[in-house]
Amino acid sequence: MSKKIIVFIIFFIAFFIDRLSKFIVSDTAFIPDGLSMGNNFISIVKVYNAGAAFGILQGWKSFLLLFSVVVMIALIIYVFKNCKKLTMGSAAGIGLILGGTLGNFYDRIVYGYVIDFLKPEFINFPVFNMADIFINLGVALIFIIMLYQSK
Number of structural domains found in the chain: 1
Residue 91 lies in a domain: yes
User: Domain containing 117: what range?
Assistant: 3-23+43-150
Helix (H, G, I), strand (E, B) or coil at 21: helix
Residue 36 lies in a domain: no
Active site residues: 116, 132
Q: What is the pLDDT along the chain (151 residues), one digit of tens a residue?
A: 688 999 999 999 999 999 999 998 887 655 655 666 667 788 888 888 887 776 667 778 889 899 999 999 999 999 999 988 899 999 999 999 999 999 999 999 999 999 998 888 888 888 899 999 999 999 999 999 989 887 6
φ and ψ of 9, to 5 deg: -65, -50
